[in-house]
Amino acid sequence: MSLLRIASRTVFQTVKIQNVVPVFSVGIRQKSDSADLKEVMTDLIPKHVEEVREFRKQHGSKVIGEVQVDMLYGGMRGIKGLVCETSHLDPELGIEFRGYTIPQCQELLPKAAGGEEPLPEGLFWLLCTGHIPTKEQVAFISKEWANRAHLPSHVVTMLNNFPNTLHPMSQFSAAITALNSESKFAKAYSDRDVHKSTYWEYAYEDAMDLIAKLPTIASTIYRNLYREGSPIGAIDTDKDWSHNFTSMLGYDNEMFTELIRLYLTIHSDHEGGNVSAHTCHLVGSALSDPYLSFAAGLNGLAGPLHGLANQEVLLWLEHLQEQIGDEVSDERLREVIWNTLKSGSVVPGYGHAVLRQTDPRYMVQREFAYKHMPEDKLFKLVAQLYKIVPDILIEQGKAKNPWPNVDAHSGVLLTHYGMHEMNYYTVLFGVSRALGCMSSFIWSRAMGLPIERPKSLTTLGLKQLVGAS
């Protein structure tokens, strides 16, 4: 085993052991005992808005970086141009939700009775407030979402009339767009009876309604496409968000529900610059309501370079397994990987635009698999690849990050529990990503962030700017 891999693992083990209380990205320190999230945010928001106002007053003209020509042609990689209060992506530690790493969230966030994985409701509270919630605060979110989960009749009719040839992500996005009819934000703005300082309150109500309804929409799509249109059943107000979701999907395996709790937590937010989060923020900056904004983000998530990656990894793994069989030596697998790279192909699921260590989201899924499905044949292949691929990529010298990302593992876990419908996986991703997009949306309206309008240049203009002939 390479020293680099040992170092990569040690980073996350150390973070989990430390269990330190981090400095939040929002400068609020006092924790509220109220179980009402909106009430808590009503107290937090004015303090943070004032903090930002003072910060900008003193440091608004400070330079924080430089922009090179290659950045404009390279997807704006590395340009510091957005404010995202909910999460930060550290190249070494991975994603930090309000300063908490994934191992810390696993340890500190409340769990279901008898469960071991964090409840996504707790992660949403953390993203919105910067505080680890109590069990009572998480129970408030679970109850709120269960009570808001019903769909208007026109959306149900729309979902049931979609042809089965329409991709599940297209159905998901279209249904959420249609929910715009229920938007409290859009109505308040249209009626012109709301001050912009209270925009966030209507955004909050829409966000809570939207997140609550996502499992109902997603389950209806799943049942229509893969279960002959069978009914999803009723929402149980005594169940948590994930448990209701898996029940409506038609799964009664407790470990699958635990997996979905973990999945929905770790896929929720990944800073503000990724395609889905940035698209949602961009559209929202035009004061489009949360439904329209999130639907736009989902259309970005549906792209093969963003949300479809886990599907592509699983297809590659299954093809690899067919090629080499269930049991293969490390030497033979190493030979196959080298041949793959020499043919001009890549190893799906390895590398990341920002991370320079093993993705902690990969690691927690790996731990889940070792605990609950250690004999799964595809998992064994994934684990064997983790031993071999990083060293090969390091030796090849092309990859900036030779470590696996979240997509290298998630599909294997889902298929183990019987969810083989790969076209649907991005819908699960979308349900999760709403937690990050909507918490950010609320804060964007609370902070009064303006419409986003960066400056673009032509190649001719760039040449003139740098003095090129």
pLDDT tens profile 82-125: 999 999 988 888 899 999 999 999 999 999 999 999 999 999 99
- Parallel, antiparallel or unpaired: strands 94-97 and 100-101: antiparallel
Band (pLDDT 50/70/90 cuts) for residue 18 is: very low
Q: Which residue of the set 281, 352, 409, 416 is catalytic? A: 352
Assign 411 a pLDDT band (cuts: 50, 70, 90): very high
326 is catalytic: no
What is the average per-residue pLDDT within 429-446? 98
Contacts of residue 60, defined as CB under 8 A and 6 or more positions apart, other chains included, come to: none
Of 131, 270, 407, 409, which residue is the catalytic one? 407
What pTM was estimated for this model as a whole? 0.91
Q: Which residue has the tokens 């026109």?
A: 154
Q: Which of 195, 181, 21 is nearest to 101 (CA)?
A: 21
455: left (phi over 0), alpha (psi -120 to 50) or beta: beta
Query: DSSP alpha helices (H): ranges in 227-252?
Result: 241-249
Annotation marks residue 352 as catalytic: yes
pLDDT at 355: 64
Annotated catalytic residue within 150, 167, 306, 372: 306
Q: Do 241 and 214 contact (CB within 8 A), yes or no? A: no
pLDDT above 70: residue 24: no
Residue given tokens 């529990």 in the structure block = 417
Tokens of 221: 């799509």
Active-site residue, 407 included: yes
Q: Which of 203, 47, 28 is nearest to 130 (CA)?
A: 28
Give the sign of the dihedral formed by CA 133, CA 136, CA 141, CA 142: positive
Q: For residues 403 and 147, is the Cβ–Cβ distance under 8 A?
A: no
pLDDT surpasses 80 at 398: no
- Residue 2, pLDDT above cutoff 50: no
